[in-house]
């Protein structure tokens, strides 16, 4: 009796397994054919891959920008996503960096990018263990002969954003919403304050660090406080948290079309984020950080056999690493002239923008 029942249970499980296995087989053949269709990756092509930090490739910020750069490089060289072409892995927590970078190296990608300052430790460790691997890190410095470090002069772009905000503000109050209080974000902060004070020494600048890059609700609360106290322009350097700043501004604009609220976006052109309706947009401009251009640049150099491991590349205003996005008419001609003036002065070295956030 017992045996029979047991046998029945076993048969049931086996049957289910077989059915599913059959489905699986079908899928495999499907996949197989599709791989051959798009499989233009020849064995000797130069392949690139990246590991995101916890933001993911759809963070509307620098992870996304880096991934766009990788895709651009892939398209220019006729590569497709997958082994031997280009790919990315997303990290769910900082425990995953090490494994993700290693996994990509094991799949023989010729160049692996780590995106974000948090990855520096993992990068350094792996660089020592794999001296032949070609690695690159964005937003941090790793001291190893096979790692290219990429830094940006965020403060220079933020200076222009600050100058624009101070020139445009009607209330004389502007705001800055930062993510985590770390050197990268401090550079945004420092440049923004310096730029605003260059235009108007008496300007009031409200600053708040939310302590997170992925908490839109905190960004919204911060923006609410600032707008309520008379601030009319907020610059955010807070990744996903900044999306809350946009939603607060859009809500205010939707309720009262005459409300004077603006947001300055960060990293990528965030014009679409500020769209209220067909005619209204709260995005004044965005401070672009050319992660994508840097990724393409480094990949191309490495492909040409000029991989500059051990170097730290700094992309500033002069190198086109940072700039302001098209304001689509939100910023008038005379203010644009002021911004261009500052751009020239910073590029020529006449103005040096501070990196350290101002003391309170």
Partner 1 sequence: MSNRVVNILVPVISIIVGLLVGAVVMLVSGYDPVKGYIALWNGIFGDSYSIGNTIRQITPYILAGLAVAFAFRTGLFNIGVEGQLLMGWLAAAWVGYAVELPRIIHLPLAILAAAVAGAFWAFLVGFLKARLNVHEVISSIMLNYTALYVTNAVIKSLSDGGFKTETVLPSATLRAQWLRDMTDNSSLHLGIILSLLMVLVMWFILEKTTRGYELKAVGFNQNAAEYAGMSVKKNIILAMTISGVFAGLAGAMEALGTFQNASIKAGFTGVGFDGIAVALLGANTPLGVVFGATLFGSLKYGALNMPNAAGIPEEMVSIIIALIIFFVACGYVIRLGLQKFGSKKEGN
The residue among 21 and 278 lying less far from partner 1, judged by its C-beta, is: 21
Q: Of residues 11, 42, 99, 308, which one binds partner 1 by CB under 8 A?
A: 99
Closest CA to 287 of 159, 146, 106: 159
Minimum distance, C-beta of residue 146 to partner 1, in the bound complex (Å): 15
Contact between residue 237 and residue 266 where contact means Cβ atoms under 8 Å apart: yes
| 31 contributes a contact to partner 1 by CB under 8 A | yes
Q: Which stretch binds partner 1 (CB under 8 A): 101-109, 229-237, 297-305, 309-317?
A: 101-109
Out of 45, 89, 135, 339, the only residue in the binding site for partner 1 (CB under 8 A) is 89
Restricted to residues 45-74, the positions that interact with partner 1 (CB under 8 A) are 54, 56
Which x/- pattern, by CB under 8 A, does the window 185-214 give for partner 1?
Answer: --------------------------xxxx
Positive or negative torsion for Cα 272, 222, 212, 157: positive
CB of 98 to partner 1, least distance (A): 6
d(CA 290, CA 66) in angstroms, rounded, equals 9
Question: From the centroid of its chain, how far is CA 149?
Answer: 16
CA gap 129, 158 in Å, rounded: 38
Site for partner 1 in 279-298 (CB under 8 A): none
Window of 72-80, 175-183, 314-322, 341-349 that interacts with partner 1 by CB under 8 A: 175-183
Pairing of strands 233-237, 204-209: unpaired
Q: Is 42 in the site for partner 1 (CB under 8 A)?
A: no
Q: 153: buried, middle or exposed (CB in 10 Å: 19+, 13-18, 0-12)?
A: buried
Residue 89 Cβ vs partner 1, minimum distance, rounded to whole Å:
6
d(CA 257, CA 129): 58
Residues 107-136, one symbol each (x = binds partner 1 by CB under 8 A, - = not), give x----------x--x-------x-------
The smaller minimum CB distance to partner 1, of residues 214 and 319, is found at 214
CB 180 within 8 Å of CB 212: yes
**88: helix, coil or strand?**
strand
Structure tokens, 41 = 């990756």
Q: Which is nearer to partner 1, 82 or 230 (CB)?
A: 82
- Residue 41: what are its φ and ψ, rounded to 5°? -75, 105
Residue with Cβ nearer partner 1 (25 or 143): 25
Asked whether position 277 contacts partner 1 by CB under 8 A, the answer is no
């Amino acid at each position: 009796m017992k045996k029979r029942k047991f046998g029945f249970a076993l048969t049931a499980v086996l049957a289910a397994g077989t059915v599913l296995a059959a489905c699986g087989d079908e899928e495999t053949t499907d996949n197989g054919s599709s791989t051959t269709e798009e499989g233009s990756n020849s064995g000797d092509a130069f392949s690139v891959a990246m590991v995101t930090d916890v933001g993911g490739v759809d963070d509307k910020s620098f992870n996304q920008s880096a991934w766009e750069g990788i895709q651009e490089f892939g398209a220019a060289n006729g590569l497709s996503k997958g082994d031997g072409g280009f790919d990315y892995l997303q990290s769910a927590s900082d425990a995953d960096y090490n494994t993700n970078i290693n996994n990509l190296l094991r799949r023989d990608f010729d160049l692996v990018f780590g995106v974000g300052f948090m990855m520096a430790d993992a990068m350094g460790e792996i660089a020592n263990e794999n001296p032949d691997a070609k690695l690159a890190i964005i937003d941090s410095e790793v001291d190893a002969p096979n790692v290219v470090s990429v830094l940006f002069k965020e403060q220079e772009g933020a200076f222009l954003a600050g100058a624009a905000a101070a020139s445009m503000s009607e209330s004389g109050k502007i705001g800055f919403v930062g993510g985590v209080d770390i050197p990268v974000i401090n550079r945004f902060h420092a440049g923004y304050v310096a730029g605003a004070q260059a235009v108007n020494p008496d300007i009031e600048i409200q600053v708040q660090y939310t302590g997170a890059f992925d908490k839109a609700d905190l960004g919204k609360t911060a923006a609410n406080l600032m707008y309520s106290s008379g601030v009319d322009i907020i610059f955010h350097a807070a990744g996903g948290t900044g999306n809350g700043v946009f939603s607060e501004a859009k809500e205010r604009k939707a309720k009262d079309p005459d409300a004077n609220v603006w947001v300055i976006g960060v990293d990528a052109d965030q014009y679409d984020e500020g769209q209220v309706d067909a005619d209204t947009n709260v995005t004044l401009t965005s401070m672009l950080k050319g992660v994508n251009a840097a990724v393409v640049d480094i990949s191309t150099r490495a492909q040409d056999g000029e991989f500059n491991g051990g170097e730290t590349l700094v992309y500033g205003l002069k190198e086109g690493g940072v700039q302001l996005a098209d304001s689509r008419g939100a910023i008038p001609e005379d203010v644009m002239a002021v911004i261009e003036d500052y751009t020239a002065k910073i590029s020529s070295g006449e103005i040096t923008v501070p990196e350290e956030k101002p003391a309170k």
